Amino acid sequence: MDRLFDEAFRGTFARTPALSPTVGGNPVALRPSVDVSEGKKAYTIRAELPGIEPDDVSIEVEGNRLVIRAEKRQEQEEEDEGYHCIERSYGAMQRVLSLPDDADTEGIEARFKHGVLKLRIPKHAARAANVRTIEVQRG
C-alpha cells in the first residue's frame, strides 16, 4: 500500500526525510527500513530506527507475526530571532513482519546500537530437519 501511494504521488508529494509526515494535520506512522537475512541456524533482522532511544522500542510476537514499534518524541523547540523551522520527523513507527514456520519465537534476541535494532531469530532444529519428499505417481 505504501508503495502504491509513493508511486502515485512521486514528484508532487513524494515523501522526503526532511518533512514531518502528516496527512490533514494528523501524524502518520513511519515504516522503518529493514534488512532480513537467513543463516543456517538463525534469521537476522536489522531495522533502522534513527533518533530512537532503546526504551522507546517495543517488540512483540503475535502468532506468526513480529511487530516492531517505536516512537520518536519531539523535543521542546524554541522560536528564536523571528523564525522557526522543524525539519526532523517525529511520530510512531511500526513494522510487521511474517515469521517463517521454523522460527523459534521463544529464543528471539534483540540488541540496539547506534540507531539500529538487530534481532536474531533462531530456527527450530526439528522443524528444519522435518522435510520429506512426496513421490508423484502416474495415473
pLDDT at residue 119 in the model: 96
Q: With respect to residue 116, please indicate whether it lies within any of the assigned structural domains.
A: yes
pLDDT at residue 80 in the model: 64
> Of 8-17, 67-76, 125-134, which gets the smallest average pLDDT?
8-17
pLDDT per position as a tens digit, 25-53:
555 456 889 999 999 999 999 999 988 89
pLDDT at residue 14 in the model: 35
Q: Does residue 5 come out as left (phi exceeding 0), alpha (psi in the -120 to 50 range) or beta?
A: alpha
Q: With respect to residue 136, please indicate whether it lies within any of the assigned structural domains.
A: no
State the average pLDDT over residues 127-139. Answer: 75
Q: With respect to residue 107, please indicate whether it lies within any of the assigned structural domains.
A: yes
CATH classification of the domain holding 57: 2.60.40.790
How many domains are contained in the chain?
1
Structural domain boundaries enclosing 113: 29-74+85-129
Q: With respect to residue 124, please indicate whether it lies within any of the assigned structural domains.
A: yes
Cell matching residue 62: 503475535
Q: With respect to residue 119, please indicate whether it lies within any of the assigned structural domains.
A: yes
Q: With respect to residue 18, please indicate whether it lies within any of the assigned structural domains.
A: no
Q: With respect to residue 49, please indicate whether it lies within any of the assigned structural domains.
A: yes
pLDDT at residue 43 in the model: 96
Q: With respect to residue 6, please indicate whether it lies within any of the assigned structural domains.
A: no
Cell matching residue 7: 508511486
- What percentage of residues in the chain have a pLDDT greater than 90? 42
State the average pLDDT over residues 8-27. Answer: 42
Handedness of CA 13, 19, 22, 24 (dihedral sign): negative
Q: Where are the beta strands (DSSP E) in the chain?
A: 22-23, 26-27, 34-38, 42-48, 57-62, 65-72, 91-98, 109-113, 116-122
Give 127's pLDDT tier (boundaries 50, 70, 90).
low
pLDDT at residue 134 in the model: 84
